[in-house]
Chain A
Amino acid sequence: MTVELATRLIDVLGGLLLFTMLLILAAGQVFRAIYAVAAQAAFLGVAGAVLAAATGNVDLWVIAGITVVAKAVLLPWLLIRVVRRVRIAREIEPVIPVHLTLTIAAGIVVLAFHLNASLGPVRQAITGNALPVGVTLILIGVLVMASRRKALVQMVGLFASENGIFFTAMAVSQGMPLIIEIGVILDVVLGALVMGILVLRVRSSVDADIADLESLRG
């Protein structure tokens, strides 16, 4: 694969990642947000494969495969299972209105692309345009975590943030070493498991929501 083609494909995939991120933000239902983050991870896997094909880095093939299997299939499946099990209301409960988060997200994207100009030396040739997209994904993922009440949607935000970290790593280096990537993905899987079990247990024992925990007094 030529460098030019790879650059263009990464560019397009960056656009798709941004769009899925907006879908997560605009999703009115928990399921939609989960499907959107699964699609985002799938696009990320494709981006990893494109970079692997362009650079001939074998580690990247493995990482792309793990990304698709773990983050696009396994974790969304787990989240959907938990949603079905706890039978929570399907609506996302935002702390601030959705259109306000969308506005903030637009500001974040503009800011990230604006800052991109001053980050010249860090960027690689192939994935240079990916840097602001990665930064955007990280920040909007945090925004999702901060602005949603449901623990499961906060998990979706965490996944999106993690996708952003992966994409940023691809932008500033030719992908991180395999051992680090596997460590990061294991971290996320473990986090998801703990969170999922916690949600199930909390739900079954005290029937409380994350927001209710705020009113606890010691």
Chain B
Amino acid sequence: METTLTHVARTAAQAALLVAAAPLVTGLVQKLKARLQCRRGASVWQPYRDLAKLLRKGTVEADTASPFFRAVPVLVLAATVATTAMLPVLWAPAQPAAVPLGDAILLVALLALARFLLAVGALDAGGAFGGMGASREMTVGLLVEPALMLTVFSVAVSAGTTEVGLLAARRAPLALSWAAPDLLALFAMLILALAETGRIPVDNPDTHLELTMLHEGMLLEHSGPGLACIALATQVKQLVTLTLVAALFLPVGLASDSSPASLAIALGAFAAKVLALAGFLGLVESSYAKLRFFRVPHFLGLGLVCAFLALALRVL
């Protein structure tokens, strides 16, 4: 009973931390990009201000939108925030939890659900760009989701569990002794992370040019608090993806108890890992051009093959 309570409390604390820090990560990536382009850039707190501004605004809806359209942003945010319960941010339990809150399979499924809801919302509003964005996003999802599953399975086979927290705890002792399958899985994961976070070379988060947008196209019909929900969901999804990469491949510094010292180490390690991965996103985004949409399957195909080989090498 005691352990279940602490497990739930820790999960809630981690989820709160992820949601609260998500806009900051977006702000950091944008700041890094601006500096690399020799601009001063907006403050790293800008995403918080954007969210606050959107929450104050009213909502405008298309005449053709059904009542479901209004529920979409909340559902997307709920599905995305639910994934944060399955990740080890500060704590990695050594024993399986008495009441497991979900594993990597559920995590990927919830991300897919959020993607589906967003696409349905975009189609529901009836805008041409929304439909185009939705169709493209689903095409990308078709390639990303199986590869993500294969990568997770490849790591899960070596740890003998699909629960991400347990997996990180079991792999922590051999954190930096990567074997060949781990390397291939890591490369696959880095390629997928670029797609999952909607960044160049797959998508461009800064553009509203109709020919290039994937994710932004689906947001055009949303406004006010709804748009704020979806923007926050996108930021949380980005941080969840980065945390998943860190949990699968860099499970170091995670705390096993609640002592302040180990918590401080865990927090520092988490910040360092997320900073490094966010730096990777910013660097790639500043040094590559966006791929033509019909070339995106090549790029993601490389990730898919890497993920497949990572699993094949692990099993064979």
Chain A interface (Cβ within 8 Å of chain B)?
A: 8, 11-12, 14-16, 18-19, 22-23, 26, 28, 98-99, 102-103, 105-106, 109-110, 113-114, 116, 129, 133
A105 with B306: CB separation less than 8 A = no
Residues of B20-74 at the interface with A, using a CB-CB cut-off of 8 Å, are: none
**A110–B92 alpha-carbon span in the complex (Å):** 34
A15 with B308: CB separation less than 8 A = no
Known: A22-B306, A109-B312. A8 touches B184 (CB 8 A): no
Q: How far is the CB of A207 from chain B (nearest CB, A)?
A: 28
A12 with B178: CB separation less than 8 A = yes
B90 at the binding interface (Cβ < 8 Å): no
B205 at the binding interface (Cβ < 8 Å): no
B179 with A110: CB separation less than 8 A = no
**A106–B302 alpha-carbon span in the complex (Å):** 10
B179 with A15: CB separation less than 8 A = yes
B183 with A16: CB separation less than 8 A = yes
B301 with A99: CB separation less than 8 A = yes
Chain B interface (Cβ within 8 Å of chain A)?
A: 177-184, 187, 295, 297-299, 301-302, 304-306, 308-309, 312-313, 316
Could you tell me the dominant secondary structure of chain A's interface residues? helix
Q: A114 — nearest CB in chain B belongs to which residue?
A: B316
Q: List 18 A-B contacts (CB under 8 A).
A: A8-B179, A12-B183, A15-B183, A18-B180, A19-B184, A19-B187, A22-B302, A22-B309, A26-B301, A26-B302, A26-B305, A98-B298, A99-B301, A102-B305, A109-B309, A113-B313, A116-B316, A129-B180
Contact of A11 among B180, B299, B306 (CB under 8 A): B180
**A102–B309 alpha-carbon span in the complex (Å):** 11
Chain B residues near A23: list those with CB within 8 A. 302
Q: How far is the CB of B176 from chain A (nearest CB, A)?
A: 11
Chain B residues near A11: list those with CB within 8 A. 179-180
Q: A100 — nearest CB in chain B belongs to which residue?
A: B301
B187 with A98: CB separation less than 8 A = no
Contact of B180 among A14, A103, A114 (CB under 8 A): A14
B316 with A22: CB separation less than 8 A = no
Chain A residues near B308: list those with CB within 8 A. 106
Q: A98 — nearest CB in chain B belongs to which residue?
A: B298
A12 with B180: CB separation less than 8 A = yes
- Supplied contacts A15-B179, A102-B302, A103-B305, 8 more A-B pairs, CB within 8 Å: A11-B179, A15-B180, A26-B298, A99-B298, A102-B301, A109-B309, A113-B313, A129-B180
B309 with A106: CB separation less than 8 A = yes
B316 with A110: CB separation less than 8 A = yes
